[in-house]
Amino acid sequence: MSCKTYLWIEDRKGKASYIFWEILMQQLCPDVIVESKKNNSELVKAVKTLTDEDNRYIIVFDNSFDNMQLYMEQKILKKSVDNKDNVFMVHLICFEYTLLEFDKLISWIYASDDEFLIKRAGAISAREKLIKTLHSGELNYKVIQEVMEYDNNIDDHNIEQLSAKLLFDLTRNTGFEVSKGVIGDCWIKSCCDWLDRHNNDICGLDNTRLSIANKMKSIYVGTSLNKEFLNVGLEVSL
């Protein structure tokens, strides 16, 4: 009997994050079985009570470092993972931050002459400074001038909330729009050919027209996913 690999996530079926993970794995790791555990607490409980020692389990749990509730649940989860030889954790801040840090995000969602590049300059600058800061290992992002100017309520938000807000503001009214319940078709489908599209119905991929497989490969290469997948031994088809 061959060993199976499961990817356990905290997101409910139908949510943007679940849809993304399901399609990502279909394209990059088609043998991996994606399973929803509905929420953080249920995911922690599932790992804690896991008795199967024959199959492999990859756990995706938000590392929202300034969310105290998540931090405490993560400590419990890590203890359970450390006690099992066939369970491994993927360390990502959150789904929204993964897309936010994607190195081609701006060039994909906006055409080179898109007016949004001007209208959303503040959000674009805040994203650049936030990602640069977190990639450097400095977690005190709430003192960054561009982030403070972008979010007047920064003191009330954690990194997951800020990432979700930034990602939505950058992608809204585009085919790449992302909210908690919706992920735009441009993330999860091959680039389309519109027979009756308007002149302004274009994005940064207008001349490239990527397949869904190539989109997922680009996201894998251009985010922290490539490092994390290697760390847990996930083999990716590129």
Q: pTM of the predicted model, to two decimals?
A: 0.94
Query: Residue 199: pLDDT band by 50, 70, 90 thresholds?
Result: low
115/89 same-domain check:
no
Q: Across all residues in the chain, what is the average pLDDT?
A: 94
Is residue 181 pLDDT above 90, yes or no? no
Q: Is residue 43 part of a domain?
A: yes
Query: Residue 198: pLDDT band by 50, 70, 90 thresholds?
Result: low
Query: Residue 2: pLDDT band by 50, 70, 90 thresholds?
Result: confident
Q: Are 35 and 57 in contact (CB under 8 A)?
A: no
Q: Residue 161 belongs to what domain range?
A: 97-210
Q: Is residue 77 part of a domain?
A: yes
How far apart CA 175 and CA 23 sit, in angstroms, is 17
Q: Which helix (H) or strand (E) holds 69?
A: helix 68-82
Query: Tell me: the pLDDT tens digits for 103-121?
Result: 999 999 999 999 999 999 9
Of the candidate ranges 84-88, 112-116, 199-203, the one whose mean pLDDT is the lowest? 199-203
Please write down the long-range contacts of 208-216, taking CB distance under 8 Å and 24 or more positions apart: 212/23, 212/27, 212/188, 213/27, 215/187, 215/190, 216/23, 216/24, 216/27, 216/28
197/223 same-domain check:
no
Q: Is residue 238 part of a domain?
A: no
